[in-house]
Amino acid sequence: MAIDRSPILKKCRSLGIEPGFLGVAKKSRKKPPMSRKKVSEYGLQMKEKQKAKFVYGVLERQFKNYYNKASKKKGIVGENLLIMLEYRLDNVVFRMGFARTRREARQVVGHKLVTVNGKIVNIASYQVKPGDVIAVKESMRTSQRFKDILSETEGRRSPAWLDSDIANLQGTIISQPARDQIDTPVNETMIVELYSK
């Protein structure tokens, strides 16, 4: 399984993303390098794609597959793409507050600590749907690991399309997220423009 292991703060700095979107509490003291070059339209589009890939922890081939599927669905392609990325199981685990960072959410899923509708799922890219119940495996709910996680994520609010029951370490997908409920700092229109060339 390929994973992007590049340093988070360094990548956030180069892409102009707040580390908080990845669940990282640290702030970089360094400032992004000032470039005097004028960035081309293509350069801006590439940057938006890199932001989306980095935030959701997706590599190029998988991202292209998401785009192809999004373009075949009804509705706005860019919004469909973001919804599919939001519906990834590792993203939902992070959004519900069952992991401190997105990378930890991926690890929690990969270690078979999460169930979907009562069945263990260890695929980070698994697509959830409205009505699905996501929960931490019962034998792990009282573990020290999840006590530590909850003490750090207690103040994090899950988005309106999720119903998160932190006390019981489970939650439900209420509905499909609307674009204004997705706070990821990405201009999806530019990604669509890039792929439609």
Query: How many domains does the chain contain in total?
Result: 2
For residue 133, the surrounding DSSP H or E stretch is strand 133-136
Residues 77 and 141 in one domain: no
Residues 56 and 107 in one domain: no
Q: How far is the C-alpha of 44 from the C-alpha of 171, rounded, in Å?
A: 37
Residues 75 and 113 in one domain: no
CATH of the domain at 129: 3.10.290.10
Q: What is the pLDDT of residues 18-57, one digit of tens each?
A: 766 666 766 655 665 556 678 899 999 999 999 999 999 9
- Say if 33 falls within a structural domain: no
- Say if 32 falls within a structural domain: no
Residues 70 and 53 in one domain: yes
Beta-sheet strand order (sheet of 170-173): 119-120, 114-116, 133-136, 170-173, 162-165
- Say if 189 falls within a structural domain: yes
Residues 68 and 106 in one domain: no
- Say if 99 falls within a structural domain: yes
- Say if 1 falls within a structural domain: no
CA distance from start to end of the chain: 30
pTM as predicted: 0.86
What is the residue range of 130's domain?
Answer: 88-179
For residue 116, the surrounding DSSP H or E stretch is strand 114-116
Tokens (6 digits) for 171: 């939650």
Percent of the chain's residues with pLDDT above 70? 88
Q: What is the pLDDT of residues 153-190, one digit of tens each?
A: 877 788 999 998 888 899 999 999 999 999 888 999 99
Going from the C-alpha of 187 to that of each of 44, 47, 148, 160, the distances in angstroms are 10, 10, 34, 21
